[in-house]
A and B are shown apart, each in its own frame.
Chain A
Amino acid sequence: KAGVTQTPRYLIKTRGQQVTLSCSPISGHRSVSWYQQTPGQGLQFLFEYFSETQRNKGNFPGRFSGRQFSNSRSEMNVSTLELGDSALYLCASSGGTGTEKLFFGSGTQLSVL
């Protein structure tokens, strides 16, 4: 069974640009959640999609958005990038019950210059 795949692995952008990150979940998983990880801040929850609908949302500004396609693949978009958006962005997939293991991707390391 293939694991969770995130692309690209690394991204370098400049302030003001926008970026799109992609996440392909494990086959059969309907829930995809996104996290921002920065040193000392742990895993900050961005949002979760389940069956193409945003089911949960964290406390991030509207510049952060996402979507999920019918095949459960998900994309995350960040518009008008700021220096503080530099982070490792992780996605995780699961069956979506909330009481089960999350499978994480390797993440996308975003650097904003």
Chain B
Amino acid sequence: GENVEQHPSTLSVQEGDSAVIKCTYSDSASNYFPWYKQELGKRPQLIIDIRSNVGEKKDQRIAVTLNKTAKHFSLHITETQPEDSAVYFCAAPSGGSYIPTFGRGTSLIVHP
């Protein structure tokens, strides 16, 4: 099955700084890579996703990059704001599975 590793587990930045979270996966057949944000006490929600035929995708201050050769993908948040403080999860499905395997999560803390 798929093995997804996520780093760092905690990331503390100052407001306005950039934040980068990286995930690696093991199954070369994986073709869909979502990122979920979970604010304290709330449900996880998809913030951005990327498919294997694309190397980068942007949505305002958020971007995701994918390197299929190295089997890693990263979440980039620019100009961080206190409301970006949350736990972020990456995920990747195994080639033969309908279910994504999640990373352990990164707790992002943005200090005002």
Contact = CB atoms under 8 A, between A and B. Distances in A.
Interface of A: 31, 33, 35, 40-43, 45, 48, 50, 55-56, 90, 96-102, 104-107
B44 A43 contact: yes
B93 A45 contact: no
Nearest to A96: B98
B2 to A, nearest CB: 10
Contact of B104 (A33, A42, A90, A105): A42
Interface of B: 31-32, 34, 36, 42-46, 49, 51, 89, 93, 97-105
B82 to A, nearest CB: 22
Nearest to A104: B43
Nearest to B105: A42
A5 B93 CA distance: 24
A101 to B, nearest CB: 5
Given A43-B44, A43-B89, A102 B100 contact: yes
Given A43-B105, A99-B31, 11 more contacts: A40-B104, A42-B102, A43-B89, A48-B98, A98-B97, A98-B98, A101-B34, A102-B46, A104-B45, A105-B43, A106-B43
A43 B101 CA distance: 9
B89 to A, nearest CB: 6
Given A45-B101, A56-B97, A96-B98, A106 B44 contact: no
Contacts of A98: 32, 93, 97-100
Contact of B98 (A43, A50, A90, A104): A50
Contacts of B97: 56, 98
B43 A56 contact: no
A31 B25 CA distance: 24
